[in-house]
Amino acid sequence: MKVLMTTAMLLLSVNAFSATIQDCIVEGKLVPNVVLLNSAGTEGIQKILDSKDSVEMKKNLIKRILYIETLSIGDGNSVCEIATKRYNVSEEKCLKVMKSSDLMSAILEESDPSEAPTLECKIGVTAMLSMQFNM
């Protein structure tokens, strides 16, 4: 577990805090301007999903990566900094969504790779829909 966590943190430190905006295709429909985690964050999450750790351990490690991805260093490139501008939501709502059980469930959900969006789009679109949903 320590090796996996260290690897994930190393990957993130190389390219930390630089979310991107990209169009995603979900269920055959184009979803424009989705805020995505950086590639290092997505790769770290994929390695965790591929590991043989318990579901609880996977959740814990993924939450840590998502937390790092939402941290702001003032350059305007973190997930929540971009999402607040792009989706017109508060930073608090973004942080809440990125820690939510709904997002975690979507990440951990098994799906057919040929039919499912990429992991980065799955995370990005789920987060976007949750942020834009008002109750």
Give residue 95's pLDDT band: very low, low, confident or very high (50, 70, 90): very high
Element (H, E) at 73: none
Q: How far is CA 90 from CA 48, 71, 86, 97, in A?
A: 29, 14, 11, 11
- Residue 39 structure tokens: 């590639």
The CA angle 64-124-50, to the nearest 5 degrees, is: 55
Higher pLDDT, 100 or 113: 100
Indicate the DSSP class of residue 28. T
- What's this model's pTM, rounded to 2 decimal places? 0.80
Identify which of 117, 45, 127 has the alpha carbon closest to the alpha carbon of residue 86.
Answer: 127
Percent of the chain whose pLDDT exceeds 90: 50
Identify which of 102, 99, 70, 65 has the alpha carbon closest to the alpha carbon of residue 84.
Answer: 70
Judged against a pLDDT cut of 50, whether residue 12 lies above it is answered with no
pLDDT on residue 28: 86
Minimum mean pLDDT range among 10-14, 33-37, 90-94, 98-102: 10-14
CA pair distance 93, 109, nearest whole angstrom: 23
